[in-house]
Structure 1
């Protein structure tokens, strides 16, 4: 299977490596020369193109499937809409209009589309209730994937990622140094995020899949576990009300702080996906070992 990974960044590079190992033929697509070089370093074909520019996408060869994992670079809602909504629409039309269009699209979204559930459980059937402009953009992009791709004969799957972590993104200081605000963490290791997309390409035929590990965890409990593993004192804890009272958060940050939920991976598990890192305990082991080794120097 030849797969174009549009926006072949943090998860996309790992996905490409997994696809190569599984005998597939990935094509990584990035808009910068540095991004293209990173794809080549990962060991598979690279093409320089921009998802918002249909003409540039003509440089990407015909493929059996496309994965849309482009990033807006952490910028605001307008930039996000340009990439996630307009970029996705451009890509669907560009590939769907070919003589040999792809059969499959996987669009990578976020569990942020659920909004607040007061610590309750959510799954693929839970109604969406985005609370920020950016998550409303993600919901709009999901509609593009699920409604427009089939018009071009492309079968879509939306994979909603929980919080990504892994190499270069462990952010231990956020929890070890504190203070830590209450709430739940829903996480997935980079390798399993890529693995969930690979599984969606190879085996799953669902409209939506939630990509999260086995154990949503209280931020306070996670911070204390991490401190114990690293051999340091437990960090300071703050309630949501205490953190909001500080008055130094933007309105979107306040909304994010007020959103609490636990995401279920029951569907992905039930379909047969096997996790490399079932919980944070396995996933953070390398980071903890590196922290302790540095502390012993």
Structure 2
């Protein structure tokens, strides 16, 4: 399909985290995608928090959007977004979906349970089905949201897309299997795929860590914290889709995180200040440990995504 840029403008900042409040629009350069014959179609697999933030962005640049989730409800369908019921761990779901033409597929899954088997069923199995069902030499772009937990570094080193992936958790191992299944399978079919490894996602509905800091139960450890707001992650997906359909060649992997990680007490100090607490008092009372923990200790670089033109909204 042929796409053109119909217009180009800048719109205001999306709310990008739960301790920096902003308006409802997303602050990044964008244009509108038009196609010679018909409106381009986007399929959002796992229509949850991130996908529901992404959907209006895609509509804004010209896509017709369909979302797939296990149990749709009336609240999911608004502003022209069609939401369907579907279990993407089942081959039959994909067989039906692939009978329709899709220009863009965005995959934002959640596990059936927080275990290695839950991650296998929630991530690996759906990607096996997608690879099997997507036609050879498809023009479809697949954007897949993974996690930076595929990196197991523990010494505070800087990590980018070229860094070694040796997950320290069994769940991270399954995420890496899902990535490789999708990337290798689609590249063999000469399809288009980009994997977005997200840092810890925060924002409305994701306040568990903030509550722990507020309640004095959060343990301060000597590790780096790498975060991204849910709106910034959705904006990164929109940005990559737009880049692709305007003719840019995407890299296979991108890290999505904020510009600067925060270390140990600095992270707690930052959050405490944002939610109106006395940071010094919070830090003094908080439990502390020198244990790095299973999640490791690393500093993530978003240089590749930044250099592609993506604009972060957080300060």
TM range (shorter): 0.7 to 0.9
Q: Deviations over 1:206-244 (max 9, x none)?
A: 100000011111231121223234332332344433x69
Q: Quick check: 2:112–2:121 contact (8 Å CA) kept in 1?
A: no
The verdict on how the C-alpha distance between 1:166 and 1:46 changes in structure 2, with shifts beyond 3 A counting, is: same
Give, in whole Å, the separation in 1 of the partners of 2:134 and 2:125.
14
The answer as to whether partners of 1:96 and 1:153 remain within 8 angstroms in 2 is: no
After TM superposition, the structure 1 = structure 2 runs for residues 25-104 of structure 1, keeping only pairs within 5 Å, are: 25-34=64-73, 37-41=74-78, 43-60=80-97, 61-96=100-135, 101-104=138-141
Q: Which runs of 5+ in 2 are unaligned?
A: 1-39, 245-249
Matches within 5 A, 1:167-186: 167-171=204-208, 172-178=210-216, 179-182=218-221, 183-186=223-226
Task: Please report the TM-score for the alignment, with normalisation by the length of structure 2.
Answer: 0.77
Q: Residue 92 of structure 1 aligns to a residue in which SS? A: helix
What TM-score, normalized by structure 1, do the two folds share?
Answer: 0.81
**Aligned counterpart for 1:206 among listed residues 251, 255, 260:** 251
Q: In the alignment, is the contact (CA less than 8 A) between 1:30 and 1:48 conserved in 2? A: yes
Mapped partners of 1:18, 1:31: distance in 2: 23
Question: Do the aligned partners of residues 84 and 102 (structure 1) sit closer, same or farther apart at CA in structure 2, a change above 3 Å counting?
Answer: farther
> By how many angstroms is 1:55 displaced?
1.6
Partner of residue 248, structure 1: none
Q: Which runs of 5+ in 1 are unaligned?
A: 245-253, 280-297
Alpha-carbon distance, 1:8 to partner: 1.3
Task: Figure out how many residues of one structure are paired with residues of the other and give that number.
Answer: 262
Large movers: runs of 4+ above 6 Å? none
CA contact 1:227–1:233 (8 Å) conserved in 2: yes
Whole-Å Cα distance in 1 between the matches of residues 237 and 109 of structure 2? 14
- Kept in 2, the 8 Å contact 1:180–1:220? The answer is no
- What's the CA shift string for 1:97-123, capped at 9, x where partnerless? 6xx945211111100111123111101
Write 1 or 2 for the structure with the bigger share of helix. Answer: 1
